[in-house]
Structure 1
Amino acid sequence: MRGRLAPEDVGLRSVGRRRTPGLRRQEVAELAAVSIDWYIRLEQGRAGAPGSAVLDALAEALRLSPVEREYLHLTARGEAPPRPLLDQRGGVTTSLRAILDGMPMLPAYVVDHSFDILAHNAAATAMFGDGFGHGTASNVALLLFLDPDARRGQLNWEQIARETVGALRANAAKYPDDPRMQAVIARLRAGHRDFAAWWGDHTVGERCSGVKRVAHPAAGVLTVSYDMFSAPEASEQRLMVLTPVDAESEVRLRGLVTAHSRRVAREAGDESGVGEAEKVEKAAVLAG
């Protein structure tokens, strides 16, 4: 890593002839505010386990990428460093938005570290209602615990709820000073006794995949798999996708999404939108 940098790249003036390209050990030590003797021992693997702050200083001095910084911590300490929390206010990327819209028959949405819903597709609105992504329903955890209709609709509510508590606690440990995370947790602890009790048992987990049964007021009972994927270029954004488990659930979900698309098109006075919904339904039938 020293060899790929010139002194000018890090704001230093090049002095004297250099036998090899890149930064000298002395220069890296100065940039990271550590002693040259200690830095030499570190390169040679004789410095013991360095502190996380020192490794971050070295990562900054060597202009390491986020992936290289994590590799440095894993190599030197055997554990990954805390991840910097990215600003989520810009929403999702254009490519991620295209992925959402490119799955017209599968409910999908993107959440951040505190389970705020950053984006969702029309199929998610069809499944969870027009209010999805707004008010209490703008956060998956708040919706799950504080909305009575959402609780009634989740036929295996306790399983999903416990998974959510474990995932929130894991994320809270990563970002203990994040005000949004603290606000969500405080509201849940004050607003739901089950959450408060489960939060107190310090269960930690990762909500990645599973199967759940949802009682929809119009479509009936749907059995769906849920899979959560890390979004590209945003380490704390997750894409959640729901897929039908059986043929009956697939037919019901398809009818639900198509009916929603037609209603939206009619309310907008867009007859071409109605035709487009029918095309999507026919394509889904052919694909099935």
Structure 2
Amino acid sequence: MTEHVPPRQAELAAFLRAKRARLQPEEAGLPRGPRRRTPGLRRQEVAQLAAVSVEWYVRLEQGRVGTPGTAVLDALAEALRLTADEHRHLHLLARGETPVLPAGSSRQPADVRTSLRQLLDGIPLFPAYLTDHRLDVLAHNAAARALFGPGFGSGPADNTARMLFRAPAARTTQLDWARVARETVGHLRTAAARHPDDPQLAALLAELRSHSHEFTLWWDDHTVLERSTGTKRVRHPEAGELRLHYDILTTGPHHLFTLTPADPATDRTLRHLVTTHTAALTATHTTVRPITAA
């Protein structure tokens, strides 16, 4: 006899299956692999991203789990890249409630103040972007798209730490990769101390630990660092090597990253790159090949 599943749990199971099928591995920072038959993510991949057991998640999709906790639901929402509305709907299905999500938990552009978006657009020649404490990219200007590529801020490029540790091109484009990567680990450890109950941050840390030996090594040595300024070298596929100053300004829950030339040669090259590509994107919607941000 078929086990009866209550309507709400059946609806929750169907919702999770639909959102899992929608999300492509690349959008979650996972390799596609040569023998993938499942549309979207596999159950074990969702479980891994949300830091829950595969067995528990399978039962959840089968409608055989009681009432999940709010932290687990938040982690699943992050793993499945749910919008703010979908995130609230997940809570409604699972718990019969629609909590007010904390500031910065949504990836929607509305979370960024209009004044900050105006500030980004008002810096036309220098790449600039806005993140939260998890280093999720919330907004960026046209110069950042010219430097990092048109996909910057979405899909696999939605988080600069994920890009740095998981994008194959990171070690080629970031010529000071080890230093910048270690600084990033220090930033995330400070963020974890300030936001110990953030399930999305916990899921990101678990993902990076499971996929990067260097991240695990530096995380375990308890590196703590709040970087605010520095200089780094990047290799752009068209513009060549660029030497850039970076400054990080904090405004409320957001971090504003700006990149400016560190020498006259970079100044000339960066200005040419930005003006050429922003004009080309406006006129023809052509794309630029990305480099990895951090």
Q: Does 1:92 align with 2:109?
A: no
- Aligned-partner Cα distance in 2 for 1:257–1:111: 21
Q: Deviations over 1:47-80 (max 9, x none)?
A: xxxxxxxxxxxxxxxxxxxxxxxxxxxxxxxxxx
Aligned to 1:241: 258
User: Whole-Å Cα distance in 2 between the matches of residues 162 and 245 of structure 1?
Assistant: 21
Q: Which structure 2 residue ranges, 5 or more long, are not aligned?
A: 1-101, 287-294
> Of 200, 210, 221, which aligns to 1:201?
221
Task: Tell me by how many angstroms 1:151 deviates.
Answer: 2.3
Aligned counterparts of 1:87 and 1:220: Cα–Cα separation in 2:
35
Residue 123 (structure 2) aligns with: 103
Would the aligned equivalents of 2:244 and 2:260 in 1 still touch at CA under 8 Å?
yes
Question: How much does 1:136 deviate?
Answer: 1.8
Which has the higher Rg, Structure 1 or Structure 2?
Answer: 1
Does residue 262 of the first structure (1) align with residue 279 of the second (2)? yes
Other-structure match for 2:235: 215
Q: Secondary structure at the match of 2:153?
A: coil
Q: Distance in 1 between matches of 2:172 and 2:253?
A: 29
> Relative contact order: is structure 1 or structure 2 higher (C-alpha 8 Å, sep ≥ 6)?
2
* 1:230 matches 2:250: yes
Code of the aligned partner of 2:222:
H
* Structure 2 CA distance for aligned equivalents of residues 203 and 87 of structure 1: 25
Q: What is the alpha-carbon distance in structure 1 between the residues aligned to residue 146 and residue 217 of structure 2? A: 33
RMSD value over aligned CA atoms? Answer: 1.6
Contact 1:91/1:119 (CA < 8 Å) preserved in 2? Answer: no
Deviation digits for residues 125-160 of structure 1, max 9, x if unmatched? 100111111112100100011001122101000110
Matches of 1:251 and 1:91, distance apart in 2: 35
Counterparts in 2 of 1:31-50, with a 5 A limit? none
> Please, which runs of 5 or more residues in structure 1 have no aligned partner?
1-84, 270-288
Structure-1 residue corresponding to 2:267: 250
Matched, 1:171 2:167: no
Match of 1:125 in 2: 145
Which TM-score applies when normalising by structure 2?
Answer: 0.60
Identity level (%): 49
